[in-house]
Amino acid sequence: MSGETTITIIGNLTGDPELRFTQTGAAVAGFTIASSARTYNKSVEQWEDGEVLFMRCSAWRDLGEHVAESLTRGTRVIASGRLRMRTFETGDADKRTVMEMTVDEVGPSLRFATARPVKAARGNGQATRNGNASTGSASAGGFDDPWAGATPAAASARGNGWNGDGDEPPF
């Protein structure tokens, strides 16, 4: 959407994402990302943390379910989304305004960790659970995965120019 403020934040989850459902059944995962700048102080020869920003985030529908299944407290993430301002009234009739992020994309940072993505099944109403994605042809209710079995031999057999002899793949 034009005119919306988009941001990207890198930080650690302060707790496990909380998955809830609206009255209409839409999934929403709520979580907080803590982000702080680190600078090197040459006078004491060590790294120092700056002020911490705690950004409250929400991820909706499939993304929310994927976040709740995949991410846990302490995970370093990179999240991109739209900044929203929300005003509410407390029980003492005080008005409060908070900044929140509606997440469009989120994933683990691979700077200090590894990840093994599993493609989620789409369109058949079955969520991917325990790392088992549905595979198969479109007529079987699954999806065609061009990367399934993407070994050098399989890639060479598909004729994409990668012969598996140590050369970099063409993608």
Q: What is the value of pTM for the model shown?
A: 0.67
Structure confidence at residue 3 (pLDDT): 76
pLDDT averaged per 10 residues, the chain (length 171): 84 97 96 94 92 96 96 97 92 92 96 90 51 38 46 44 44 39
d(CA 71, CA 63): 11
148: three-class secondary structure by DSSP:
coil
101's enclosing H/E stretch is: strand 95-108
d(CA 89, CA 93): 6
pLDDT digits (tens, 9 = 90+) for 112-143: 899 998 888 875 444 444 444 433 333 333 44
Structure confidence at residue 21 (pLDDT): 97
Structure confidence at residue 120 (pLDDT): 86
Structure confidence at residue 4 (pLDDT): 84
Structure confidence at residue 123 (pLDDT): 56
- Dihedral of CA atoms 142, 143, 145, 149 in degrees, nearest 10, equals 20
Q: How far apart are the first and last CA of the chain?
A: 31
Measured CA distances, 153 to 24, 49, 160, 161 (Å): 48, 48, 11, 11
